[in-house]
Amino acid sequence: MKADVILGLQWGDEGKGKIVDLLASRYPVVARFQGGPNAGHSIHFGGKSYVLRSIPSGIFREGALNIIGNGVVLDPITFRQECEALIADGVPVKDRIYISRKAHLILPTHRILDAASEAAKGKAKIGSTLKGIGPAYMDKTGRNGMRVGDTEAADFMDRLSVLRQRHFSVLRQYDYEYDPDADLKEWLSAVEYMRGFKFIDSEYFANEVLASGKAMLCEGAQGTMLDIDFGSYPFVTSSSTVCAGACIGLGLPPHSIGEVYGIFKAYCTRVGSGPFPTELFDATGEEIRKKGFEFGAVTKRPRRTGWLDLVALKYAVMIDGVTALAMMKSDVLAGFDKVKVAVAYKVDGKTVSHVPYDTYAEVEPVYEEFDGWGDLTEARSYEELPVSFRKYVEFIESRTNVPVKILSVGPDRSQTIIR
């Protein structure tokens, strides 16, 4: 069997959690391949709402095993909080989660380093979620990191001490006040809690799953425009959010990838700093934010809003090799007289159809306008949808050359049309 991948095509928060939860009933194994508790994946069903941070969104499906892959950076404190909240709701997390020994650990000092680094950047700050993601990945690539498997080593406390000392010496370069022992006790206790879970060599596990004929769904975090290589650097996260990240973050060979589901909103949002060509600063932007409840699932920060950007979407489709699109939150645009889509950019007076290298370039979107549509939230088949909306969908399909196979018309699991 092949591993199917679900990932975000924009700047995160596209609705990945909802689609992973929806499709997870078809997959015995669901695996997160990168990111960490900077992610917030919301899921609504049966009148209840959940936000998952590091735990894969297949956790609510009986019979689905959830893997935290080697590409993830795991904070034992948030992991424990997530688990305890799920257990309180009757979800048997211990039976359903396996953790890769090779996943890297986020220490409390990684979070301090994140905060110190952002504070030092001043106006040029990334707008990080301050969960320690950047510093943890820096330790990983700098070959200083600690991994989940290290918690089983006899000299774990010594290794921890060495890494903490390294962090303190880096922190001395910043004019930043902090408590060196902040959260340390809680972190150590959470490490003990985490050790109650099954640790696996997830690269062997994942490949054996596929070899035994079982299907696997890989869940991405963030979005393609936040990718460390292909996003709007330096306003990005620190991991590979693109499809290739699923291979790296789980140890899967490229030929084992099957369907690639690209998740995008019918408009765009971004939280944190960085370019956003179609951003709206007017009443329309505010209305999208209000109707779409565009506030961070983790940080509660208001998300920046704007029209759909087809230049960026086509770029993401190309890099990810998307085979099926899922368009989310079209219901939020209901009631607008006209809906716009950026089909090109004007850069230095020239019309271009590529994402410019220069993150700081002045980019003016070139729009095409579409007739708006009314309420979509009750529709459960493509045929029930308004003609004006279907024109919008079919335009996106024609420009991306990828079918929109899933249409989400509300946050609930049931508010979904599969074509």
Of residues 347 through 386, those in contact with ligand IMO by CB under 6 A are: none
Q: Using the rule CB under 6 A, give the single segment among 34-42, 126-134, 228-236, 389-397 that binds ligand GDP.
A: 34-42
State which of residues 4, 8, 270, 363 lies at the interface with ligand GDP (CB under 6 A). 8
Size (the chain), residues: 419
* Cα atoms in the 13 Å half-sphere on the side-chain side of 156: 13
DSSP 34-56: SB-TT--EEEEETTEEEEESSS-
Beta strands in 103-170 (DSSP E): 104-105
13 scored as a contact of Mg ion (CB under 5 A): yes
325 scored as a contact of Mg ion (CB under 5 A): no
Angle, in degrees to the nearest 10, between helices 108-121 and 156-171 = 10
Q: Using the rule CB under 6 A, give the single segment among 7-15, 94-102, 366-374, 389-397 that binds ligand IMO.
A: 7-15
* Residue 181 falls in the annotated catalytic set: no
Kindly give, in sequence order, each residue whose CB lies less than 8 Å from that of residue 119, ignoring residues fewer than 6 positions away. Answer: 125, 174, 176
Cβ proximity to ligand IMO, 42 vs 70, nearer residue? 42
Of residues 195 through 224, those in contact with ligand IMO by CB under 6 A are: 221-223
Beta strands in 23-132 (DSSP E): 29-32, 41-45, 48-52, 65-68, 73-74, 97-100, 104-105
Structure tokens at 66: 């959830």
Of residues 253 through 292, those in contact with ligand GDP by CB under 6 A are: 292
Helix and strand counts by DSSP (H, E) for the chain: 12, 20
Least distance from C-beta 266 to ligand GDP, angstroms?
A: 8
CA–CA distance, 401 with 387 (Å, rounded to integer): 20
* Residue 158 falls in the annotated catalytic set: no
Cβ proximity to ligand IMO, 60 vs 392, nearer residue? 60
State which of residues 6, 226, 332, 404 lies at the interface with ligand GDP (CB under 6 A). 332
**Strand 338-347, strand 73-74: pairing:** unpaired
* Cα atoms in the 13 Å half-sphere on the side-chain side of 163: 26
Instruction: Assess contact for 265 and 15: CB atoms under 8 A.
Output: yes
Cβ proximity to ligand IMO, 80 vs 131, nearer residue? 131
Least distance from C-beta 146 to ligand GDP, angstroms?
A: 27
Cβ proximity to ligand GDP, 135 vs 220, nearer residue? 220
Least distance from C-beta 76 to ligand GDP, angstroms?
A: 22
411 scored as a contact of Mg ion (CB under 5 A): no
Cβ proximity to ligand IMO, 188 vs 248, nearer residue? 248
CA–CA distance, 392 with 284 (Å, rounded to integer): 18
Of residues 382 through 401, those in contact with ligand GDP by CB under 6 A are: none
Q: List beta partners, residue 41.
A: 52
Binding mask 23-42 for ligand IMO (x = CB under 6 A): ------------x--xxxx-
Structure tokens at 246: 């699923």
Binding mask 280-299 for Mg ion (x = CB under 5 A): -----------------x--
Which of 4, 41, 104, 110 is flagged as catalytic? 41
Q: By CB under 6 A, name the binding residues for ligand GDP.
A: 8, 12-18, 39-42, 44, 292, 297, 328-329, 331-332, 408-411
Residues that bind Mg ion (CB under 5 A): 13, 40, 297
Which positions are annotated as active-site residues?
13, 41
